[in-house]
Amino acid sequence: MFEKRLTLDAVRFLNSRCFVLAFHAPEIARAARPGQFLMLAASDGIEPLLRRPMAVYQILESSGEPVGFSVLVERTGKGTTLMSKMQAGDEVAVLGPLGSSFAPPGDATAEAVLVMGGVGAAPFPLFARALLEAGHTTRAFIGGRTSEHLLCAEDFAALGVPVTQATDDGSAGHHGLVTAALTEYLSGCDGPVAIYSCGPTPMMRAVDSIASARGLPHQVSLEAPMACGIGVCLSCVVPAVDEAGGWRYRRICREGPVFDASTLLWEHPDD
Protein backbone atom coordinates (compact mmCIF):
# COMPACT_ATOMS: atom_id res chain seq x y z
CA MET A 1 0.00 0.00 0.00
CA PHE A 2 1.06 3.54 -0.70
CA GLU A 3 0.25 6.74 1.14
CA LYS A 4 0.39 9.57 -1.40
CA ARG A 5 -0.76 13.06 -2.14
CA LEU A 6 -1.95 12.74 -5.71
CA THR A 7 -2.88 15.39 -8.23
CA LEU A 8 -6.35 14.84 -9.62
CA ASP A 9 -6.00 14.40 -13.39
CA ALA A 10 -9.61 14.48 -14.51
CA VAL A 11 -13.19 14.57 -13.29
CA ARG A 12 -15.95 13.09 -15.44
CA PHE A 13 -19.63 13.14 -14.52
CA LEU A 14 -21.68 10.10 -15.57
CA ASN A 15 -24.96 11.64 -14.46
CA SER A 16 -26.16 14.21 -11.93
CA ARG A 17 -24.90 12.16 -8.96
CA CYS A 18 -22.14 9.87 -10.16
CA PHE A 19 -18.66 10.87 -11.25
CA VAL A 20 -15.24 9.45 -11.96
CA LEU A 21 -12.03 10.82 -10.42
CA ALA A 22 -8.86 9.87 -12.30
CA PHE A 23 -5.34 10.04 -10.89
CA HIS A 24 -1.85 9.58 -12.29
CA ALA A 25 -0.20 7.07 -9.94
CA PRO A 26 1.93 4.36 -11.59
CA GLU A 27 2.84 2.55 -8.34
CA ILE A 28 -0.77 2.24 -7.23
CA ALA A 29 -1.86 1.32 -10.77
CA ARG A 30 0.70 -1.50 -10.92
CA ALA A 31 -0.24 -2.84 -7.49
CA ALA A 32 -4.04 -2.60 -7.66
CA ARG A 33 -6.11 -5.75 -8.19
CA PRO A 34 -9.82 -5.92 -9.14
CA GLY A 35 -11.98 -5.55 -6.05
CA GLN A 36 -9.41 -3.67 -3.99
CA PHE A 37 -10.10 -0.18 -2.71
CA LEU A 38 -8.44 3.08 -1.69
CA MET A 39 -9.05 5.57 1.10
CA LEU A 40 -9.52 9.07 -0.33
CA ALA A 41 -9.59 12.27 1.69
CA ALA A 42 -12.63 14.37 0.87
CA SER A 43 -10.93 17.57 2.00
CA ASP A 44 -7.60 18.87 3.23
CA GLY A 45 -9.07 19.85 6.56
CA ILE A 46 -10.80 17.94 9.31
CA GLU A 47 -14.39 18.26 8.04
CA PRO A 48 -15.18 15.59 7.24
CA LEU A 49 -12.56 13.90 9.37
CA LEU A 50 -12.30 10.45 7.85
CA ARG A 51 -11.22 9.33 4.41
CA ARG A 52 -13.74 7.55 2.19
CA PRO A 53 -13.27 4.00 0.93
CA MET A 54 -13.62 3.78 -2.86
CA ALA A 55 -13.24 0.71 -5.09
CA VAL A 56 -10.68 0.83 -7.86
CA TYR A 57 -12.77 1.46 -10.99
CA GLN A 58 -10.29 1.66 -13.86
CA ILE A 59 -6.58 1.08 -14.29
CA LEU A 60 -5.46 3.74 -16.74
CA GLU A 61 -2.77 2.79 -19.21
CA SER A 62 -0.33 4.56 -21.45
CA SER A 63 1.47 2.55 -24.16
CA GLY A 64 0.18 -0.62 -22.49
CA GLU A 65 1.69 0.30 -19.09
CA PRO A 66 -0.43 1.01 -16.00
CA VAL A 67 0.03 4.68 -15.12
CA GLY A 68 -3.03 5.62 -13.11
CA PHE A 69 -6.38 4.64 -11.70
CA SER A 70 -9.84 6.01 -11.27
CA VAL A 71 -12.64 5.67 -8.74
CA LEU A 72 -16.36 5.88 -9.38
CA VAL A 73 -18.14 7.93 -6.73
CA GLU A 74 -21.81 8.44 -5.98
CA ARG A 75 -22.68 11.66 -4.20
CA THR A 76 -24.57 10.50 -1.12
CA GLY A 77 -23.34 12.58 1.83
CA LYS A 78 -21.00 15.25 3.11
CA GLY A 79 -17.75 13.64 1.98
CA THR A 80 -18.84 12.59 -1.49
CA THR A 81 -20.47 16.00 -2.04
CA LEU A 82 -17.11 17.65 -1.39
CA MET A 83 -15.48 15.14 -3.73
CA SER A 84 -18.01 16.02 -6.44
CA LYS A 85 -16.65 19.57 -6.34
CA MET A 86 -13.02 18.51 -6.83
CA GLN A 87 -11.33 19.75 -9.96
CA ALA A 88 -8.42 18.59 -12.09
CA GLY A 89 -5.22 19.83 -10.47
CA ASP A 90 -6.51 19.46 -6.90
CA GLU A 91 -4.31 17.50 -4.50
CA VAL A 92 -5.95 14.54 -2.78
CA ALA A 93 -4.52 12.31 -0.03
CA VAL A 94 -4.86 8.69 -1.12
CA LEU A 95 -3.99 5.44 0.68
CA GLY A 96 -4.01 2.17 -1.19
CA PRO A 97 -4.53 -0.21 -2.79
CA LEU A 98 -6.15 -1.96 0.17
CA GLY A 99 -7.86 -5.21 1.01
CA SER A 100 -8.57 -8.43 -0.81
CA SER A 101 -9.45 -8.84 -4.48
CA PHE A 102 -11.79 -10.94 -6.61
CA ALA A 103 -10.39 -14.35 -7.55
CA PRO A 104 -11.27 -15.83 -10.94
CA PRO A 105 -13.36 -19.02 -10.82
CA GLY A 106 -11.47 -22.09 -9.63
CA ASP A 107 -13.01 -23.99 -12.54
CA ALA A 108 -11.24 -22.79 -15.70
CA THR A 109 -14.34 -23.54 -17.77
CA ALA A 110 -16.77 -21.68 -15.52
CA GLU A 111 -18.81 -18.75 -16.72
CA ALA A 112 -18.45 -15.69 -14.48
CA VAL A 113 -21.71 -13.95 -13.64
CA LEU A 114 -21.32 -10.47 -12.16
CA VAL A 115 -24.28 -9.06 -10.28
CA MET A 116 -24.24 -5.44 -9.22
CA GLY A 117 -26.50 -2.76 -7.84
CA GLY A 118 -25.98 1.00 -8.14
CA VAL A 119 -22.45 2.20 -7.41
CA GLY A 120 -21.60 -1.40 -6.44
CA ALA A 121 -20.85 -1.79 -10.14
CA ALA A 122 -17.59 0.14 -9.73
CA PRO A 123 -15.13 -2.77 -9.27
CA PHE A 124 -16.60 -4.99 -11.99
CA PRO A 125 -15.44 -3.60 -15.35
CA LEU A 126 -11.81 -4.08 -14.23
CA PHE A 127 -12.55 -7.58 -13.01
CA ALA A 128 -14.45 -8.40 -16.22
CA ARG A 129 -11.34 -7.52 -18.18
CA ALA A 130 -9.24 -9.90 -16.07
CA LEU A 131 -11.85 -12.64 -16.45
CA LEU A 132 -11.91 -12.29 -20.23
CA GLU A 133 -8.10 -12.36 -20.35
CA ALA A 134 -8.23 -15.58 -18.33
CA GLY A 135 -10.67 -17.02 -20.87
CA HIS A 136 -13.86 -16.96 -18.80
CA THR A 137 -17.16 -16.26 -20.47
CA THR A 138 -18.49 -13.28 -18.54
CA ARG A 139 -21.93 -11.77 -18.14
CA ALA A 140 -23.14 -8.73 -16.20
CA PHE A 141 -26.43 -8.12 -14.39
CA ILE A 142 -26.87 -4.49 -13.43
CA GLY A 143 -29.62 -3.29 -11.10
CA GLY A 144 -30.66 0.14 -9.95
CA ARG A 145 -33.61 2.09 -8.55
CA THR A 146 -33.99 4.03 -11.81
CA SER A 147 -32.17 4.27 -15.13
CA GLU A 148 -29.99 6.96 -13.50
CA HIS A 149 -28.75 4.36 -11.01
CA LEU A 150 -27.56 1.91 -13.65
CA LEU A 151 -23.80 2.23 -13.98
CA CYS A 152 -21.02 0.74 -16.10
CA ALA A 153 -23.19 -0.72 -18.89
CA GLU A 154 -21.01 1.05 -21.50
CA ASP A 155 -17.85 -0.39 -19.94
CA PHE A 156 -19.16 -3.93 -20.28
CA ALA A 157 -20.42 -3.23 -23.81
CA ALA A 158 -16.93 -2.03 -24.77
CA LEU A 159 -15.51 -5.32 -23.48
CA GLY A 160 -18.14 -7.32 -25.34
CA VAL A 161 -19.66 -8.55 -22.07
CA PRO A 162 -23.43 -9.17 -22.39
CA VAL A 163 -25.45 -7.01 -19.99
CA THR A 164 -28.87 -7.52 -18.47
CA GLN A 165 -30.32 -4.49 -16.73
CA ALA A 166 -33.18 -4.14 -14.27
CA THR A 167 -34.70 -1.13 -12.54
CA ASP A 168 -37.10 -0.92 -9.62
CA ASP A 169 -39.27 1.61 -11.52
CA GLY A 170 -39.01 0.04 -14.96
CA SER A 171 -37.34 3.12 -16.45
CA ALA A 172 -34.75 0.89 -18.12
CA GLY A 173 -34.28 -2.84 -18.69
CA HIS A 174 -36.39 -5.35 -16.77
CA HIS A 175 -39.00 -3.86 -14.45
CA GLY A 176 -38.11 -5.38 -11.08
CA LEU A 177 -35.18 -6.71 -9.16
CA VAL A 178 -31.92 -7.69 -10.80
CA THR A 179 -32.03 -10.92 -8.80
CA ALA A 180 -35.21 -11.96 -10.67
CA ALA A 181 -33.35 -11.57 -13.96
CA LEU A 182 -30.44 -13.52 -12.46
CA THR A 183 -32.68 -16.41 -11.39
CA GLU A 184 -34.26 -16.57 -14.82
CA TYR A 185 -30.86 -16.66 -16.50
CA LEU A 186 -29.44 -19.34 -14.20
CA SER A 187 -32.48 -21.56 -14.82
CA GLY A 188 -31.32 -21.86 -18.41
CA CYS A 189 -27.65 -22.55 -17.57
CA ASP A 190 -26.30 -26.05 -17.41
CA GLY A 191 -22.53 -25.42 -17.37
CA PRO A 192 -20.40 -24.37 -14.38
CA VAL A 193 -21.05 -20.83 -13.14
CA ALA A 194 -19.33 -18.64 -10.55
CA ILE A 195 -21.20 -15.67 -9.11
CA TYR A 196 -19.77 -12.34 -7.99
CA SER A 197 -21.82 -9.57 -6.41
CA CYS A 198 -21.52 -6.06 -5.03
CA GLY A 199 -24.32 -3.67 -4.15
CA PRO A 200 -26.91 -3.08 -1.44
CA THR A 201 -26.86 -5.73 1.29
CA PRO A 202 -30.40 -7.04 0.53
CA MET A 203 -29.33 -7.60 -3.08
CA MET A 204 -26.11 -9.42 -2.15
CA ARG A 205 -27.97 -11.52 0.36
CA ALA A 206 -30.61 -12.45 -2.23
CA VAL A 207 -27.84 -13.30 -4.70
CA ASP A 208 -26.26 -15.50 -2.06
CA SER A 209 -29.54 -17.39 -1.52
CA ILE A 210 -29.75 -17.96 -5.27
CA ALA A 211 -26.11 -19.07 -5.51
CA SER A 212 -26.19 -21.38 -2.50
CA ALA A 213 -29.51 -22.96 -3.60
CA ARG A 214 -27.69 -23.98 -6.78
CA GLY A 215 -24.39 -24.82 -5.11
CA LEU A 216 -22.59 -22.07 -7.03
CA PRO A 217 -19.46 -20.37 -5.68
CA HIS A 218 -20.14 -16.74 -4.76
CA GLN A 219 -17.71 -13.96 -3.96
CA VAL A 220 -19.12 -10.78 -2.51
CA SER A 221 -17.63 -7.32 -2.02
CA LEU A 222 -18.79 -5.59 1.18
CA GLU A 223 -18.73 -2.01 2.34
CA ALA A 224 -19.05 -0.50 5.81
CA PRO A 225 -18.22 2.73 7.59
CA MET A 226 -14.51 2.61 8.38
CA ALA A 227 -12.01 5.02 9.90
CA CYS A 228 -8.61 3.72 8.82
CA GLY A 229 -8.90 1.28 5.90
CA ILE A 230 -5.86 -0.70 7.08
CA GLY A 231 -7.29 -2.88 9.83
CA VAL A 232 -6.45 -1.00 13.00
CA CYS A 233 -9.67 0.79 13.97
CA LEU A 234 -11.73 -2.44 13.98
CA SER A 235 -14.89 -0.58 12.98
CA CYS A 236 -15.77 -2.30 9.67
CA VAL A 237 -16.21 -5.80 11.04
CA VAL A 238 -18.63 -8.43 9.80
CA PRO A 239 -19.45 -11.78 11.46
CA ALA A 240 -18.01 -14.78 9.65
CA VAL A 241 -17.57 -18.48 10.36
CA ASP A 242 -14.21 -19.53 11.79
CA GLU A 243 -12.17 -22.69 11.38
CA ALA A 244 -13.33 -24.09 14.73
CA GLY A 245 -16.99 -24.07 13.67
CA GLY A 246 -17.83 -20.94 15.62
CA TRP A 247 -17.73 -17.39 14.37
CA ARG A 248 -15.60 -14.32 14.65
CA TYR A 249 -15.49 -10.82 13.27
CA ARG A 250 -13.56 -10.25 10.07
CA ARG A 251 -12.41 -6.81 8.96
CA ILE A 252 -13.96 -5.67 5.69
CA CYS A 253 -10.91 -3.47 5.04
CA ARG A 254 -8.31 -6.19 5.59
CA GLU A 255 -9.71 -9.71 5.18
CA GLY A 256 -12.24 -8.15 2.76
CA PRO A 257 -13.74 -6.27 1.04
CA VAL A 258 -14.06 -9.41 -1.13
CA PHE A 259 -15.17 -12.49 0.79
CA ASP A 260 -16.22 -15.99 -0.13
CA ALA A 261 -19.92 -15.49 0.62
CA SER A 262 -20.20 -18.94 2.17
CA THR A 263 -18.01 -17.74 5.07
CA LEU A 264 -20.26 -14.78 5.94
CA LEU A 265 -23.09 -14.76 8.45
CA TRP A 266 -25.83 -12.54 7.07
CA GLU A 267 -27.74 -12.82 10.35
CA HIS A 268 -25.75 -11.77 13.40
CA PRO A 269 -25.06 -14.93 15.47
CA ASP A 270 -26.26 -13.19 18.65
CA ASP A 271 -29.75 -12.66 17.17
Partner 1 sequence: MTERRPADLGVDVGSLRLKNPIMLASGTVGYGEEIGELVDLSELGGIVVKGLSLEPVTGNRPQRIAETPGGMLNSIGLQNVGVEAFVRDKLPNLRRYDTRVIANIWGKTVQDYAAVAARLDQAEGVHALELNVSCPNIKEGGISFGTDPKQLHEVTAAARAATSKPLWVKLAPGVTDIGLIARAAEEGGADALSAINTIRGMMVNVESRAPMLSTVFGGYSGPGLLPIALYLLFEIRKATPLPLIGIGGINELEHVLQFMIVGACAVQIGTANFYDPTFSSRVVDELAQWCRNHEIDSLAELVGSLRLPRQG
Q: Is residue 230 part of the contact set for partner 1 (CB under 8 A)?
A: yes
Q: Is residue 31 part of the contact set for partner 1 (CB under 8 A)?
A: no
Q: Is 262 in contact with 212 (CB distance < 8 Å)?
A: yes
* Number of residues located near partner 1, criterion CB under 8 A: 31
Can you give 97-160 as a three-state secondary structure string? EECCCCCCCCCCCCEEEEEEEHHHHCCHHHHHHHHHHCCCCEEEEEEECCHHHCCCHHHHHHHC
Nearest to 89 by CA among 41, 13, 4, 24: 24
Distance CA 201, CA 179 (A): 12
CA-to-CA dists, residue 114 to 60, 82, 121, 267, angstroms:
22, 30, 9, 24
The strand pairing partners of 219, in sequence order, are 196, 260
Q: Is residue 186 part of the contact set for partner 1 (CB under 8 A)?
A: no
The least CB distance from residue 58 to partner 1, in Å, is 25
Question: With respect to partner 1, which residue has the nearer C-beta, 93 or 177?
Answer: 93
Q: Is residue 108 part of the contact set for partner 1 (CB under 8 A)?
A: no
Of 30, 108, 225, 265, the one binding partner 1 (CB under 8 A) is: 225
The least CB distance from residue 270 to partner 1, in Å, is 7
Of 235, 241, 262, 263, the one binding partner 1 (CB under 8 A) is: 235
As a residue count, the chain comes to 271
Of 193, 238, 258, 261, the one binding partner 1 (CB under 8 A) is: 238
Q: Is residue 261 part of the contact set for partner 1 (CB under 8 A)?
A: no
Q: Is residue 43 part of the contact set for partner 1 (CB under 8 A)?
A: no
Distance CA 175, CA 162 (A): 18
* Stretch of 39-47, 120-128, 141-149, 156-164 lying at the interface with partner 1 (CB under 8 A): 39-47
Of 22, 28, 60, 226, the one binding partner 1 (CB under 8 A) is: 226
Nearest to 150 by CA among 119, 185, 115: 119
Contact residues toward partner 1 (CB under 8 A) are 1, 3, 41, 46-51, 93, 95, 224-228, 230-239, 248-249, 254, 268, 270
